[in-house]
Chain A
Amino acid sequence: MKSVTSHRELKGASLRLLLALAFLAPGAAGALSLTDRMIGVATDIAADPASFLYDLHQNNEDFTPVTPGRFVEGGMNLFPTFLPLAMLNGNLKVRLLKEHGGLPQIDLLGGGWSDMAAWFVPGTKVGWWGWNLGAIISGSIDPRMRVFGGYEYSQMRADLELGDKIDAGSMFGSLEGLPDLSTLNSIHVGKREHYLTLGAELLRSSDKYLVAQMSYGLAGQRLAARLTWKGKGFNTGIAFYPEGSWVIWPFESFTVRF
């Protein structure tokens, strides 16, 4: 792996560039200042809050197969959902069939979450929850690579009373004082989707994997892509929703495997 070592810095720069560009995101066209960018995002969210909240909901999910040699996994997203958004979440993956004797591995996956903001903030009315359930088939096509595909049903519901309305203008100083063009004082939305996913898991080193996956939602033509660097306990990754208000979400999660 000589070349990998010798080019690590360049690859790091490449990855950082990829992330930086993704952070800027479609819809950011011409918005050279951060303020303009934030206003654009805020108005997008105000126009379609369900999509934004649904993207956050998806960050809780871990739709990857059970690690080879293990039969059950439990995990939790730490960032950006549990922290700082108080989304108490958990997911469970159970291997129904081990890959052996010419048969693929089959897993059942599920997860759920609920936002805890109402528990801690007096007077807040927040009913924001979601869950997902699905199954994955995976098979090794090489000693260092597995491919997988699966189906997932994913649902979110949000009933938020925001009290003082959110005003895109006053949140970002330059438009303060303008009429309330993009304001919210309550959100009552729900979204559900039927996802089909294809992906691959590449072995990096012992118990460390890189997982790439892409999902397509049949109900709303939603797209999601995800890269996950799986470690022995903690996982780091980036989730990408190309048509979302906020396109890229870095995430950190942990998983316990048995």
Chain B
Amino acid sequence: MRASGRNGKVGKTRKVMAAVSFAAAIIMAGAAAMAAAPAAAPATAAKPAPAAKPAAAPAPAAKPAPKPAASATPVTATAPAATVATAVSATASSAAMAAPVTAAPVSESAGIKIDPYYSFNWTEAFTSPSVGDWFVGSNFGTSLGGKYTFNEAQAVLGMCSLQYRGPGLKTQEGREFAERTIDINTMLEDRWTVLPNYTVRTRALFMDEMRRAGSNEVWGHGLYDFWTTGLGIAQDFAVPGDVGMVGDVSYQYFGFPNYTDLLQEFQTGGATAEQSGGLQDYNNIRFRADSRFGKIATAWLGWSIQSYVNAKVVSEDGTYSKKAQLDNVFDVGSALDLTLVPAESGSKGAVKSSPSLGLTFKTSNQNFLRFKTFGDLHPDFIKGYYNYNQVELSAPVRWIYDEADDGGTSSLYLSLDWIFTSYAKRPARNDLGEFGSKKMWTSIFMVTPGIAMPLNRFTHWNIGYTFHIQNSNNKFEKFLPYNFQGHTVFSSVDIAY
């Protein structure tokens, strides 16, 4: 199950890319300091905070595996087994747009304005699921980046991040609780303001994810490890009436250096197993339209085409056809940023909510064969096994009950999340693994109350609890649970600038 030859080559590339990413981040830190020096003198003594710049608010929906507020996590690949995974969770541009680098620049030198960004997150979580043993998981992440504005027309944004995600309850099918991942992201974007209301953003990105399913696996040799690199171009239009429109086109190549296929190995014998690596490699073209209506509402529409390089469609007779696998993922959604109760002063007393609704539709020409026993000559054949429709609803509410002198806020939050997935053609299984007549569905509901307290305006401590309940009419749970409840208590520290 290993493609060591490919992996050796890719392993070196990974190390080089990781080194380049961090070197770039370090250079960015240095450059930020160079330009920042006149404005931000070294912190030799306690000084009153400058004009209050609001700290990055803690995510109301702080979960056991939170992402940094603006980590340059450009993509989430559709892992071979993770059929529920959304192909593209966020574009680099949207992550960058969400970053607080759009705040007032902190420094200016020789006409170049620098808006640095830094984040650090550490979460510890104790989880007790109703199936299996309790476990403790950790998440770490750090990001460093900056926006360099050369003049009114030209700016460059760069970001590098490192993220470790430890064991935890997963919301994607096929993911084990014990799985751990390391992600390295690098993104560079040029922003050219052609006209006052028209900006072209061109970006390049690289991401590497290593996944470790068990303690006996070695980092870098995971079956579902992947890397991706690509280019994207986005066009921002500002329309009168405080309306913004973004049109985005991107291309990325996803490589799975270690992934191979059991069916192919079984049919061709061990001789060609080494050549089977990269079976899930695919080209991804994505179109996305975003719109913003004032400061309250956003909406998006996306279409991803995943064209597989090596994977062929499996036929009913148990062989691979000549047709290459092709997946399409459509997604549409909307989010609101509401102030339910206005602040008494500053931001104290405000009650805010940012509900969102997303719909995802995936179609794939790939089929599925189920061999009941080794050497089964009449396997079950399911056409369109990987097609699904998904609804994702999130409703976080946050009450800012206190605000410190330096702008650090204390808040209580409650987040409700629901993910419902229905498979158009995949029948549910009974507890013996036999396919039934009804189509499969899965529902995941999570509720997360918590409290966030400031250490200073950059740093927050979080403490919270998540109740996770998952139901499905799929009762075959020999390898992965589909029906369970989980309780997670977590504590985290977040630093964001």
Residues of A within 8 A of B (CB): 1-4, 6-7, 10-11, 13-15, 17-18, 21-22, 24-30, 32, 44, 68-69, 99-105, 137-151, 196, 198-207, 209-210, 212-214, 216, 218-221, 223, 225, 227, 240, 242-243, 247
Taking CB atoms, residues of chain A closer than 8 Å to B8 are none
- Are A144 and B124 in contact (CB-based, < 8 A)? no
CB atoms of A104 and B30 under 8 A apart: yes
> Can you name the residue of chain B whose Cβ is closest to the Cβ of A205?
B46
Which among B273-281, B291-299, B486-494 touches the partner chain?
B486-494
* B33 in the interface (beta carbon within 8 A): yes
Q: Does B70 contact A (CB under 8 A)?
A: no
Contact (A202, B18) CB under 8 Å given A7-B410, A26-B138, A140-B41:
no
Determine if B231 is an interface residue (Cβ-Cβ < 8 Å).
no
Q: Does B72 contact A (CB under 8 A)?
A: no
Q: Give the chain A neighbours of B255 by CB distance below 8 A.
A: none
- Residues of chain A contacted by B182 (CB below 8 angstroms): 216, 221, 223
Task: Decide: B491 and A14 in contact? CB cutoff 8 A.
Answer: yes
CA–CA, A25 to B491, complex, Å?
Answer: 14
- If A18-B492, A142-B497, A147-B116 touch, whether A2 touches B137 (CB-CB below 8 Å) is no
B459 touches A202 (CB 8 A): yes
Docked-complex contact B29 and A139, CB < 8 angstroms: yes
In the complex, the answer to whether A29 meets B215 with C-beta atoms within 8 Å is: no
Q: How far is the CA of A247 from the CA of B141 in the complex (A)?
A: 17
Whether B34 pairs with A198 at a CB distance below 8 angstroms is no
B162 touches A3 (CB 8 A): no
Residue interface mask B5-42, A partner, CB < 8 A = 1: 00000000001001100110110011011111110111
A212 touches B134 (CB 8 A): no
Using known A-B contacts A103-B37, A140-B43, determine if residue A22 contacts B120 with beta carbons closer than 8 Å.
no
Task: Pick the residue among A140, A202, A225 that contacts B40 (CB under 8 A).
Answer: A140
Q: Which residues of A contact B458 (CB under 8 A)?
A: 142, 144-145, 202
Least Cβ–Cβ distance between A252 and chain B, in angstroms? 20
Contact B40 A142 (CB under 8 A): yes
**Which of B197-205, B386-394, B448-456 forms part of the interface with chain A?**
B448-456
Least Cβ distance of B40 to chain A in Å? Answer: 4
Residue of A nearest to B137 (CB): A26
Q: Once the chains bind, are B36 and A139 in contact (CB under 8 Å)? A: yes
Residues of B within 8 Å of A247, CB to CB, are: 138
B29 touches A221 (CB 8 A): no
Tell me how far the C-beta of A112 lies from the nearest C-beta in chain B, rounded to whole angstroms: 24
Closest-CB distance, A76 to chain B (whole angstroms): 24
- Contact status A4-B142, CB under 8 Å: no
User: How far does the alpha carbon of A103 sit from the alpha carbon of B29 in the complex, in Å?
Assistant: 11
Residues of A contacting B44 in the complex (Cβ-Cβ under 8 angstroms): 68-69
Q: Does B256 contact A (CB under 8 A)?
A: no
Kindly supply a per-residue 1/0 record for chain B positions 156-175, scoring 1 wherever the CB is within 8 Å of any chain A CB and 0 otherwise.
Answer: 00001010101100000000
- Given A3-B408, A142-B106, A99-B37 contact (CB < 8 Å): yes
Tell me, in angstroms, the Cα distance from A151 to B219 when the chains sit together.
Answer: 21
Cα-based distance from A71 to B138 in the complex (angstroms): 36
Q: A3-B453, A140-B37 are in contact. Are A227 and B122 (CB under 8 A)?
A: yes
10 further A-B contacts with Cβ under 8 Å, apart from A1-B405, A24-B126, A204-B456, are A21-B124, A26-B166, A68-B42, A99-B37, A141-B116, A143-B50, A147-B144, A202-B495, A212-B120, A214-B141
Scan residues 202-252 of chain B and give those whose CB is less than 8 A from a CB of chain A. 210, 215, 219-220
- Interface residue? B467 (CB, 8 A): no
Please tell me if B322 contacts chain A, counting CB pairs below 8 Å: no
The reply to whether A13 and B29 form a contact with Cβ atoms under 8 Å apart is: no
Contacts of A15 in B (CB 8 A): 461, 491
Of A29, A105, A140, A214, most buried by chain B (CB within 10 Å of CB) is A140
Closest chain-A Cβ to B71's Cβ sits at a distance in Å of 12
A216-B22 contact, Cβ under 8 Å, with A139-B34, A141-B33: yes
Cβ contact within 8 Å between A242 and B140: yes
B133 near A: Cβ within 8 Å? Answer: yes
B328 to chain A, nearest CB (A): 34
C-alpha spacing A3/B35, complex, angstroms: 33
Q: Which of A22, A140, A218 contacts B33 (CB 8 A)?
A: A140
Q: List 30 A-B contacts (CB under 8 A).
A: A3-B403, A3-B410, A4-B454, A7-B453, A10-B451, A10-B463, A14-B462, A18-B122, A18-B492, A18-B493, A21-B490, A29-B134, A99-B33, A102-B109, A141-B107, A141-B497, A142-B43, A143-B41, A147-B32, A147-B33, A151-B26, A196-B23, A198-B26, A199-B120, A199-B142, A204-B46, A214-B120, A218-B19, A225-B122, A227-B493
C-alpha gap A142/B180 in the complex (Å): 34
Q: Is the CB of A137 within 8 A of B33?
A: yes
Q: How far is the CB of A218 from chain B (nearest CB, A)?
A: 5
Q: B135 in the interface, Cβ–Cβ < 8 Å?
A: yes
Inter-chain CA distance A13–B23, complex, in Å, is 38
Bound-state CA distance A207–B250 (Å) is 48
In the bound complex, CA of A22 to CA of B126 (Å): 9
A218 adjacent to B15 (CB under 8 Å): yes
**Inter-subunit contact A139/B124 (CB<8 Å):** no
List the B side residues contacting A209 at CB < 8 Å.
43
Interface string of B123-149 (1 = CB under 8 A from A): 011100000111111101110100000
Q: Is B331's CB within 8 Å of the partner chain A?
A: no
Q: Are B404 and A18 in contact (CB under 8 A)?
A: no
Bitwise, B431-470 to A at CB < 8 A (1) or not (0) is 0000000000000000000010111101101110000000
Q: Which residues of B contact A104 (CB under 8 A)?
A: 29-30, 33-34, 37
How far does the alpha carbon of A210 sit from the alpha carbon of B455 in the complex, in Å?
10
Q: Does B361 interact with chain A (Cβ within 8 Å)? A: no
A151 cross-chain contacts in B, Cβ below 8 A: 26
**B43 and A146: CB pair below 8 A?**
yes
- Any chain A CB within 8 A of the CB of B330? no
B79 to chain A, nearest CB (A): 19
Contact B126 A21 (CB under 8 A): yes
Q: Which residues of B contact A44 (CB under 8 A)?
A: 215
A203 touches which one: B43, B126, B140, B184 (CB < 8 A)? B43
Q: Which of B473-493 contact A (CB under 8 A)?
A: 489-493
Tell me which residues across on chain B come within 8 A of A17, comparing CB atoms: 124, 463, 489, 491
Complex contacts, A18 vs chain B, CB 8 Å: 122, 124, 491-493
The 7 closest A-B pairs by CB, nearest first: A139-B33, A30-B133, A149-B26, A104-B33, A221-B219, A29-B135, A21-B124
A105-B33, A223-B182 as given contacts; A143 in contact with B43, CB under 8 Å = yes
* CB contact between A139 and one of B32, B140, B454 (< 8 Å): that residue: B32
Hey, which chain A residues are within 8 Å of B164, CB to CB? 223, 242
Closest to A221 in B: B219
The answer to whether residues A198 and B22 also contact, given A99-B33, A140-B42 and a CB cut-off of 8 A, is yes
